[in-house]
Structure 1
Amino acid sequence: MLGKTYTTLLGGRELTLETGRLAKLVSGSVTVRYGDTVLLVTAQAREERSTLDFLPLTVEFEERHYAVGKIPGSFHRREGRPGERAILSARITDRQIRPLFPKGYRHETQVIITVLSADQQNAPDVLGPIGAAAALSISNIPWEGPTACVRVGKLGDDLVINPTAEQLAHSSLDLVVAGTRDAVMMVEAGAQEVSEEELVEAIEFGHREMQGVLDLIDTMRRELGAAKFEWQSGPAEDPVAALLPEIAEEIRASGLRDALLTVKKHDRREALGRLRESLIQARIPEGEVDGAEERIVALQAAFSRVEKQELRRLILEEDLRADGRNSRTVRPIWIEARPLPRAHGSAVFTRGETQVLGVTTLGTERDELLVDDLTEDTDDKFLLHYNFPPYSTGEVKRMGGQSRREIGHGHLAKRALRAVLPSFEEFPYVIRVVGEVLESNGSSSMATVCAGTLSLMDAGVPLKAPVAGVAMGLVIEEGRYRILTDILGLEDALGDMDFKVCGTANGITALQMDIKVGGITPQIMREALAQAREGRLHILGKMAEVLPSSRPELSPTAPRIVSLQIDPELIGKVIGPGGKQVRELEAMGAQVTIEESGQVRIFSASAAAAEAVRERIEQVTRVAKVGDEFEGTVVKIAPFGAFINLFPGQDGMLHISQMSEERIEMVEEVMLLGHKVRVKIAHIDERGKIDLIRPELEGKVAPREPRAPRSQDRSGRPPATAAPPRGQCPP
């Protein structure tokens, strides 16, 4: 069966959407093709309303190894749980489509993106959101799209839409933009210290270029779109809405403002809790049973709505926030460097009631992360892990594996710091940074960036510049808006934007923006970035008071890596027969890695052991040259001379005529096994055989005639003619 195909140009290449051929039983099914990358995207929802009080939306990004002609590397040789890249790709789609479901929509909805083919040049992560928007648009699922998504790169001064993997490797910007026809919905970026204005220009460029994709999806919806099923936001009669006019002023008059402006999180929660309980007790007398439970739930919901309305009013009208700050103020900052005695690098970064312990560990290439996904990358030499335990928010929860939120926040912090790390050639360590969130009241991912930077500097990693991060918020109503610097958890929950900006004093290195409304304008984005720069510079100043730059020396507990270059043809000598030489080197207290180029890296917890191994390798790979002098050891005596070991693996021969000014009959008259003797290389023949002299006798004894080459013997006669083949007579 042939499906219906729709095509447009995106970034100068053909983008094709097809429906009606695959997965026809699902509500919405679309195949996306861009180059030789092909995705199948499906959307399905239950028509029965869920009892949950939030939108039960799940987005799954399924990578199939057959897409790149690989068999999975797992024990069972089949795909397991999604890897980090797949989870991040799913989050890009989720963050783009979630805000456009109708308010009050509570039907379980699932979007599944399956990568069927990957050409490893056109990334599937930005194609999944396009497929999801198309599948939702033609399905019977209520959704207020469409949206589109593109990646923007920057090569020199030129902006590029959906750069290939090769182009992206040379790009100073990796920006993902999603939006509707009129506004930007989601932004995520990694950058090499680009300016705020450059970033806004790239976002506007990406938004313009996605318009053709939006036209294509609109055409699909008009021609093929199914009727949306009827849904209900809740009970026909909303008891909360009926209560609000009656109790809103009563709640405000009872001290809501003072409770909201309480500085500490737990104190604020207790103050609001007391107000809520007094409201319930006044309206539901003790002992009343009939309908009490439903009325309590309604009153609690009504209180929450008034609380949100009052907080937003305070911000918009009075520039007052939940902890008493104005919109531009950063919370108090406290920093401690090297709190852990044995870690290679560590720091505690505290901003208000958000606290993160950053820890840096340095390792060898053997510690790099092996990647088994649909990319051509096979290893990662920089790791950043973000941990968010339940105690950080004063809660008790089940602890399991790393959540999608932890992976997403860790990835953002990783992108922020990667831009300022030295190259592996400059600093040949595998680096792991861990952000342990100890307290959380908003912006813990940005605190991880700050703590991670400080721990790297404490470890002695030569960063190009310190990096700090700050989370920006937004409250917008009826044309009025207020941008907030360094948001609290409450402001994140009740606000309209979470805009995380990371960078140095020179520019932005990472960015992530999520919108809970229909999008924001470029003007608001410019203002938010400018205000974020103010906050970032303030935080960088506080960090510089404790650690102005990376420590000049590696931490005393950090291992040492010594690098040296050898002739690739001598690698075998370092390895030795059956690896014997390498095993002996590592028995000296170090790890040794050898690349095909001849680059050797020695890794040891002891600087002395690393230096000893280096000296041993230099000896093993040393190349003898005429004129070099050595303190050698006599290792063999023959009637015509003595063999002297110059360095491991290399002997030379000192002829009897070069041992003394006077004629001697036997070598043993002047040489004994094991004796040390000063010698100098006089000649090296084409076979590598070395003739030695004693430097103190040079000019006092007649120089010895060099050994004859293989083409003639000592008499000067040419070698005998080879025997003729069997069955032939000599001429």
Structure 2
Amino acid sequence: MFDITRKTIEWGGRTLSLESGRVARQADGAVLARYGDTVVLATAVGARKPKEGIDFFPLTVNYQEKYSAAGRIPGGFFKREGRPTEKETLVSRLIDRPIRPLFVDGYKNETQVILTLLSHDLENDGDVLALVAASAALTISGLPFLGPIGAAKVGYKDGEYILNPTISEIKETGLELVVAGTAEGVMMVESEAQELSEEVMLGAVKFGHESFQPVIDMIIDFAEDCAKDPIDLPEPAPELADCAAAVKAQAEAALTEAYKHTVKQDRVEAIGAAKTAAKEALAEQFDEGMIGGALKELEKDIVRGGILDTGMRIDGRDTKTVRPIVSETTVLPRTHGSSIFTRGETQALVTTTLGTAQDEQIIDSIEGEYRSHFMLHYNFPPYSVGETGRMGGAGRREIGHGKLAWRALRPLLPTKDDFPYTIRVLSEVTESNGSSSMATVCGSSLSMMDAGVPLRRACAGIAMGLIKEGERFAVLSDILGDEDHLGDMDFKVAGTSEGITSLQMDIKITSITPEIMEIALEQAKGGRMHILGEMAKALDTAREELSPHAPQMETIKINKDKIREV
């Protein structure tokens, strides 16, 4: 009844196994992955027809943890899993980011990848295993996925890198870094670090990339035994080339002029007018989605070509210059701490609120219930980009950006013995033209110091970009929204004057080389030091006294011999 394929390797001191053919056989690809006693089921399913009228790839990735995996019953009245937790959302994004660029260009069939944590040994977390399982499921599915990819978690202790540290080991290391990529290069990095140098961080990425090569070989071997035939893809529409030529003739001059506007709102209006004119002129000849795709490619050619040919960007900067910065603190009268951090056309209004132990966040996870005394929440209202839109709970992007800033600042917090307050930081992005998460890092650092939180050092963040065509490339400091949208990389680096505390990298091409990463890290360091200098003009250390509106605490230590008298 079952045609089971199973492969195993020894990896990082534990056994990694992949199995297919026994569970979820109606999915295009289904893999049961096990590492230690942690088990994840990965499934991949793609629609057989493309979604009409869209110019993007409709991929959905969902990671879910079942409480039964750790022998627990969910809390709450209903006693069942509900909406995605913060961790599930973050792991879903972690998996989405490296697999999305590897689907063939032009593939617009709705595709869903679901990862389910079925067993958890409370030592080997499910995030990296789920990424490996997703890669294997897609590789055998027959969907047009240009993988496989591998992934690994890297720790760092006593000058040595650790492959796939356990949950207990991570608490004792100065680094938690997840890296994913192909055999040729790196595609995604996510990390939290204790002020480590650029050399150590780059070494960790290289170590992780080398360490997951056996996993890629294993998936290839696995797929040779059980992969399905590739699905039939429609031939590219014969009029695609004609549409691209017509769009270029119609819109190239107008778009080139539009991208000369250095002010975002003026540029957006001019680009919108040029696109609308092209769509109206060509509406009777070509499909709207086809015109939209051709316009996007034309925009990429104009912006990317201009940067590579001239070294100048659409707002007039060279590749290394950071936009003008204004830092302000104590901007609100009744908050415990506040700041406004403005970098060009990106701005974050950040507040810090201090509370007691009763205000700690209680988190119910499959590992058990625990409390968190530091929270950082990021909001991105539609007015920040001059648009109208939905208002409601935090979306995946807001949760991810908030967590990135949280990771950047957490290593710098004082101990609870030294500062027994619960801390909530709230970042409202009031303007955005790229790098709002890094503006949140800068604004949060200022806001917490304004509230009297004795951070070890001030923290700043910068987003780096990449334009790469063949052998030519340019690394961009402090990228704009258009450069993020039309470029090849979003590389966020946050840290202090002493080292990196958080790093996140995503790319839209198949991989990047260590050389490019090294250049980006060094360029980011220069930008970070400049930003820290600008921030110091407003506030360079924590205020000695708390706000009069903050709760007041006094710690009294009692001699053990006197406890019975109290």
TM-score bracket, shorter-length normalisation: over 0.9
Say yes or no: does 1:88 pair with 2:90: yes
* Cα deviation code 1:339-381 (max 9, x no counterpart): 1111000000011111101110111111111111122461111
1:378-417: CA deviations, max 9, x gaps? 1111101011111111111122221011110000000000
Matched, 1:378 2:377: no
Q: Which moved more, 1:203-212 or 1:262-271?
A: 262-271
| Contact kept in structure 1, 2:5 and 2:226, CA below 8 Å | no
CA distance in 2, matches of 1:88, 1:208: 25
Taking the TM superposition and a 5 Å limit, the aligned residue runs for 1:376-415 are: 376=368, 378-415=370-407
CA contact (8 A) 1:496 1:515 kept: yes
Q: Is the 8 Å Cα contact of residues 261 and 321 (structure 1) preserved in structure 2? A: no
TM-score with structure 1 setting the length? 0.75
Q: Please, what is the CA RMSD of the aligned residues?
A: 1.9
Could you tell me which of 484, 504, 516 is aligned with 2:508? 516
1:95-140: CA deviation from partner (whole Å, max 9, x where unpaired): 1211101111111111111111111110101110100011111112
CA–CA separation in structure 2 for the residues paired with 1:178 and 1:50: 29
Which of 527, 532, 535 lines up with 1:535 in the alignment?
527
Q: Which residue of 412, 418, 422 corresponds with 1:420? A: 412
Deviation at 1:295, TM superposition (A): 7.2
2:222 corresponds to: 220
Which of 449, 457, 473 pairs up with 2:449? 457
- SS of 1:186's partner is strand
Instruction: State whether residues 40 and 115 of structure 1, in contact with CA within 8 Å, keep that contact through their aligned partners in structure 2.
Output: yes
Cα 1:312–1:233 shift into 2, 3 Å:
farther
Q: Which moved more, 1:377-386 or 1:309-318?
A: 377-386
CA distance in structure 1 between the aligned counterparts of 2:491 and 2:173, rounded to whole angstroms:
23
Relative distance call for 1:5 and 1:274 in structure 2 (3 A) is closer
SS in 1 for 2:517: helix
Q: Which residue of 1 aligns with 2:31?
A: 30
Paired amino acid for 1:135: A
Counterpart for residue 458 of structure 2? 466
Mapped contact 1:415–1:509 kept (Cα < 8 A): yes
Note the alpha carbon deviations across 1:197-233, whole angstroms, 9 max, x for none. Answer: 1111111011001011001100011111110101237
Alignment partners' CA distance in 1, 2:82 and 2:247: 53
Q: Is the 8 A contact 1:280 1:296 kept in 2?
A: yes
Q: 1:99-118 counterparts in 2 under 5 A? A: 99-118=101-120
**In the alignment, is the contact (CA less than 8 A) between 2:247 and 2:291 conserved in 1?**
no
Aligned-partner Cα distance in 1 for 2:435–2:169: 33
Counterpart of 1:712 in structure 2 is none
The verdict on how the C-alpha distance between 1:233 and 1:543 changes in structure 2, with shifts beyond 3 A counting, is: farther
* Separation in structure 2 between the aligned mates of residue 31 and residue 301 of structure 1, nearest angstrom: 37
**Corresponding residue number in structure 2 for 1:196:** 198
Shift in Å at residue 261 of structure 1? 2.4
Displacement of 1:53 in angstroms is: 2.3
In structure 2, the residue corresponding to 1:371 is in which secondary structure?
A: strand
What's the counterpart of residue 128 of structure 2?
A: 126
1:545 to 530, 537, 544: 537
Distance 1:3 1:75 in 2: 40
Percent of aligned pairs with the same residue? 48
CA drift at 1:306: 2.3
Question: Counterpart amino acid of 1:539?
Answer: I
Distance 1:256 1:149 in 2: 40
In the TM superposition, 1:235-250 aligns within 5 A as 235-238=237-240, 241-245=241-245, 248=248
- Report the CA distance shift for 1:350/1:20 in structure 2 as closer, same or farther (over 3 A): same
State the Cα distance separating 1:303 from its structure 2 match. 4.1
User: Over residues 303-333 of structure 1, what are the superposed CA-to-partner deviations in whole Å (9 max), with x where a residue is unaligned?
Assistant: 4432221111111110111111111111111
In structure 2, list runs of 5 or more residues that go unmatched.
none
- Contact kept? 1:103, 1:233, Cα under 8 Å: no
- Taking the aligned partners of 2:29 and 2:336, their CA distance within structure 1 comes to 52
1:152–1:262: structure 2 CA closer, same or farther, 3 Å change rule? same
User: For residue 617 of structure 1, what is the aligned residue in structure 2?
Assistant: none
8 Å Cα contact 2:490-2:506 kept in structure 1: yes
The structure with more radius of gyration: 1
Match for 1:503: what amino acid?
G
**Larger deviation: 227-236 or 33-42?**
227-236
Cα deviation 1:118-171 (Å, max 9, x = unaligned): 111101011101000111111121211000111000111110011011110010
- Structure ranking higher on relative contact order (CA contacts 8 Å, 6+ apart): 2
Does the 8 A contact of 1:308 with 1:494 survive in 2? Answer: yes
Q: 2:298 & 2:463 partners in 1: Cα distance?
A: 25
Q: Superposition pairs for residues 92-491 of structure 1, below 5 Å?
A: 92-232=94-234, 235-238=237-240, 241-245=241-245, 248=248, 251-252=251-252, 254=253, 256-276=255-275, 292=284, 294=286, 301-376=293-368, 378-491=370-483
Unaligned residue ranges in structure 1 (runs of 5+): 285-290, 574-619, 622-731
How far, CA to CA, are the matches of 2:554 and 2:330 in structure 1? 25
Q: Give 1:45's aligned residue.
A: 46
How many pairs are equivalent? 564
Higher mean displacement: 86-95 or 294-303 = 294-303
TM-score normalised by L of structure 2:
0.96
Residue 70 to residue 332, structure 1, CA distance change in 2 (3 Å): same
Cα distance between partner residues in 2 of 1:48 and 1:318: 42
Alpha-carbon separation, structure 2, partners of 1:274 and 1:21: 55
In 1, Cα distance between equivalents of 2:106 and 2:292? 18
Distance 2:273 2:389 in 1: 25
Contact kept in structure 2, 1:105 and 1:233, CA below 8 Å? no
Q: Which residue of 1 aligns with 2:59?
A: 57
Distance change >3 Å, CA 128–CA 276, structure 1 → 2? closer
Structure 1 residue 235, shift from structure 2 partner? 3.1
**CA distance in 1: counterparts of 2:244 and 2:47, whole angstroms:** 32
- Indicate conservation of the 8 Å contact 1:106/1:233, yes or no: no
Kept in 2, the 8 Å contact 1:59–1:94? The answer is yes
SS in 1 for 2:351: strand
Specify the alignment match of 1:650 in structure 2: none
- Rounded Cα–Cα distance in structure 2 between residues aligned with 1:302 and 1:546: 46
How far, CA to CA, are the matches of 2:480 and 2:498 in structure 1?
26
* Structure 1 counterpart of 2:192, one-letter code: G
Contact conserved, 1:412 with 1:510, CA < 8 A, in 2? yes
Q: How far apart are 1:490 and its partner, in Å?
A: 0.6
The residue number in structure 1 matching 2:6 is 5
Match of 1:629 in 2: none
Separation (CA, whole Å) in 1 of partners of 2:560 and 2:88: 39
8 Å contact 2:348–2:427 — kept in the other structure? yes
Distance 1:174 1:297, change over 3 A: closer
Preserved CA contact (<8 Å) 2:55 2:292: no
Q: What is the DSSP-based 3-state SS (H/G/I as helix, E as strand, rest coil) of the residue aligned with 2:556?
A: strand
Post-superposition shift, 1:251? 4.4
CA contact (8 A) 1:96 1:129 kept: no
Q: What's the CA shift string for 1:263-293, capped at 9, x where partnerless?
A: 1111011223344456567x57xxxxxx637
